[in-house]
Chain A
Amino acid sequence: MKVVAFLLAVVFFVVAVLYVAGLMQFGAATPGRHVKHAVLFAILGALSLVWMRFGAGPERAR
Chain B
Amino acid sequence: MTWFQAMLLAVLQGASELFPVSSLGHTVLVPALLRWHVDRTDPTFLAFVVALHLGTALALVAFYADDWARIVRALVASVVRGKLSDDPCEKLGWLLVVGTIPVALLGVFFQEPVRRFFGSSAIVSCFLIVNAFIMFAGEALRRRASGSRELDRLTWSDAVKVGCSQGAALLPGISRSGSSIVAGLLLGLRHDDAARYSFLLATPVILAASVLEIPKLFEPAAHAALAQSAAGCVLAGVTAYASVAFLTRWFHSHDLRPFGWYCLIFGSSCLALALAKVIS
Contacts and interface: CB of A to CB of B under 8 A. Distances in A.
B86 A60 contact: yes
Interface string A36-62: 110110011001001001110011110
Interface in B83-138: 83-86, 97, 101, 104-105, 108-110, 112-113
A61 B97 contact: no
A61 B83 contact: yes
A58 B108 contact: no
A27 B212 contact: no
Nearest to A49: B79
A29 interface: yes
A54 B80 CA distance: 10
A56 B86 CA distance: 18
Nearest to B104: A40
B82 A54 contact: yes
Contacts of A27: 108-110
Given A35-B212, A40-B104, A54 B84 contact: yes
Contacts, number: 38
B81 to A, nearest CB: 6
Nearest to A60: B84
B81 A36 contact: no
A1 B33 CA distance: 55
Nearest to A19: B108
Nearest to B116: A29
Contacts of B82: 53-55
Given A29-B112, A47-B97, A40 B105 contact: yes
B108 A60 contact: no
A37 B108 contact: yes
Interface residues of B, number: 19
Given A36-B108, A39-B212, A29 B113 contact: yes
Contacts of A55: 82-83
B84 A59 contact: yes
Contacts of A40: 104-105, 108
Contact of B85 (A39, A47, A60): A60
B266 to A, nearest CB: 30
Nearest to A50: B79
Contacts of B109: 27
Contacts of A58: 84
Interface of B: 78-79, 81-86, 97, 101, 104-105, 108-110, 112-113, 208, 212
Given A36-B108, A61-B83, 6 more contacts: A27-B109, A27-B110, A39-B212, A55-B83, A59-B84, A61-B84
Interface of A: 27, 29, 35-37, 39-40, 43-44, 47, 50, 53-55, 58-61
18 contacts: A27-B108, A27-B109, A29-B112, A29-B113, A35-B212, A36-B108, A39-B212, A43-B104, A47-B97, A54-B78, A54-B83, A54-B84, A55-B83, A58-B84, A60-B83, A60-B85, A60-B86, A61-B85
